Amino acid sequence: MNDQIRPPRYEIRAHHTATTVTVYQAYRPAIGHPAARDGRFPAAWKRDRMTWVKPSFLWMMYRCGWGTKEGQETVLAVEITREGFGWALENAELSHYARGVHPDKAAWQRSMSHSPARVQWDPERDLHLNPLPHRSLQLGLSGEAARRYADEWLVSVTDVTPLAHEVHRLVRSGEKDRATALLPVEEPMQGVRAPVPAGS
């Protein structure tokens, strides 16, 4: 990412191809290891619970502490279909009420009750996991979206915990350029939109 050009405040950036999008999650080894081995989530992965996916590698590192937090020791890069990612965004609602986006809070709550996906925008992170001015997309999947994610959209599941640990090691040793070179390339996505708070 060019440090001289500030990205838009709300922009979907991801490692993506013409047909796939990579998102990140972190799990305990009992779930993460078989998911990476088999390319699908194991039976212990609950399809009736909301699951949050993050297109930003560094935001995932912030969330899981570089794969050191309890229950988040295995970091997964989950490649899903672009079509599925787009469907989730089209059927998503903001995770928090935003004045000006909805007529009132009750309307937002009604919309949320029928939406299988949630969108939340949190500060993007730098290599030291400090917050940046622009936002990073977090996408919550529940109900139909969670089932489609696990059973239809999955293309590949890769354990990137070693990458997380190596980037962290380089950051701690002050080797910023080498750490940056290892980061997945995340670029703005065209043709997909997500709900954003008013005033964006």
Strand partners, 140: 52, 118
| pLDDT digit string, tens, across residues 176-200 | 999 999 999 999 999 999 999 865 4
| pLDDT digit string, tens, across residues 120-166 | 999 999 999 999 999 999 999 999 999 999 999 999 999 999 999 99
Q: Residue ranges of the alpha helices (H) in the chain?
A: 29-38, 57-64, 82-90, 105-114, 143-148, 161-172, 176-182
Distance CA 171, CA 194 (A): 32
Distance CA 120, CA 197 (A): 9
| Residues in the chain, overall count | 200
| pLDDT digit string, tens, across residues 26-65 | 999 999 999 999 999 999 999 999 999 999 999 999 999 9
| pLDDT digit string, tens, across residues 9-25 | 999 999 999 999 999 99
Burial class (CB in 10 A: 0-12, 13-18, 19+), 185: exposed
Distance CA 183, CA 178 (A): 9
Distance CA 106, CA 76 (A): 37
Name the pTM for this structure: 0.93
Q: What pLDDT score does 4 carry?
A: 58
